[in-house]
Amino acid sequence: MKQSNTKTKLLLLEDVTNLGRKGELASAKPGFVRNFLLPQKKAVIADKRTIRMQEKLREEREVQAAADKKEAEALAKRLESKTLSITVKNDSQGHLYGSVASADIVKILEEQEGIKIERKHVLLLKPIKSLGVFDVQLRLKEDVPATFKLKVDGETKVREPESLVEVVEEGAEAQEAAADEEAAEDLPMRSEREKEMKEELEERSKE
């Protein structure tokens, strides 16, 4: 028997991602309602009785939102001057074996600052794959933005590139040596030519 695609109307008891916020009316597929929303007590079926609950839930939501925003703003201010760090495996050129991803950011914040956030709060466009200092952006509760610096250190010391001055000096020395060698090779030939010219002049003077 073909299942109905008719969505079930609900009153949300909690914020539900991609569905709505606490106290709002929403619609969801029957399977999602039956297997997740109702068992987790995140929503109830909307009817005359539950509709009367809506205003109370909205008021509770507004109070909670104000508290969440205040907490998030304090957290953002605390983080703005922070530089956290992580040590990773790398090669001698500074390339990482792996990367630093959103899950690592969540772990770093909890271990180093005692701050608990979810992966969805980390705005990392792509994993970090090199050593250095990076700005990490977050979007906390009530969409409050936050930023902190993350220093990515390597376990293996990165080999320093040769100094440009040393390279230039080595190049100049090589050119000078080559010129001296060329001059030394050319000296016997010049002496021979000079001898021939001298003999030719002497022959002409006899004539």
DSSP string of 162-195?
PPHHHHHHHHHHHHHHHHHHHHHHHHHHHHHHHH
Instruction: Tell whether the model's pLDDT for residue 172 goes beyond 70.
Output: no
Structural domains for the chain: 8-52 (3.40.5.10), 76-154 (3.10.430.100)
Higher-confidence position of 13 and 94: 13
**Structure token pair of residue 33:** 């309602």
Reported confidence tier of residue 200, pLDDT bands at 50, 70, 90: low
Give the DSSP H/E element, type plus range, for residue 203.
helix 164-206
Q: Give me the pLDDT at residue 145, please.
A: 97
Is 182 in contact with 116 (CB distance < 8 Å)? no
Reported confidence tier of residue 1, pLDDT bands at 50, 70, 90: very low
Note every long-range contact of 101-109, with CB atoms under 8 Å and residues 24 or more positions apart, other chains counting: 101/127, 101/128, 105/136, 105/150, 108/84, 108/150, 109/84
Instruction: Tell whether the model's pLDDT for residue 169 goes beyond 60.
Output: no
Tell me whether residue 21 is exposed, middle or buried, using C-beta atoms within 10 angstroms of its C-beta: 0 to 12, 13 to 18, 19 or more.
middle
Which ranges of 19-114 would DSSP assign to H, the alpha helix? 30-32, 48-51, 54-79, 102-113
Instruction: Tell whether the model's pLDDT for residue 67 goes beyond 80.
Output: yes
Q: Give me the pLDDT at residue 162, please.
A: 54
- The distance from CA 14 to its chain's CA centroid, rounded to whole angstroms, is 32
Instruction: Tell whether the model's pLDDT for residue 50 goes beyond 90.
Output: no
CA distances from 44 to 9, 17, 150, 171, 203 (A): 9, 16, 43, 79, 125
Q: Give me the pLDDT at residue 75, please.
A: 96
Reported confidence tier of residue 17, pLDDT bands at 50, 70, 90: confident
Percent of all residues in the chain with a pLDDT value above 70, rounded to a whole number? 73
Q: Give me the pLDDT at residue 157, please.
A: 75
Instruction: Tell whether the model's pLDDT for residue 3 goes beyond 80.
Output: no
The overall average pLDDT reported for the chain is: 83
Mean pLDDT over residues 110-115, rounded? 96
* CA gap 156, 131 in Å, rounded: 11
Mean pLDDT over residues 14-41, rounded? 92
Q: Give me the pLDDT at residue 56, please.
A: 86
**Structure token pair of residue 155:** 């376990």
Instruction: Tell whether the model's pLDDT for residue 4 goes beyond 60.
Output: no
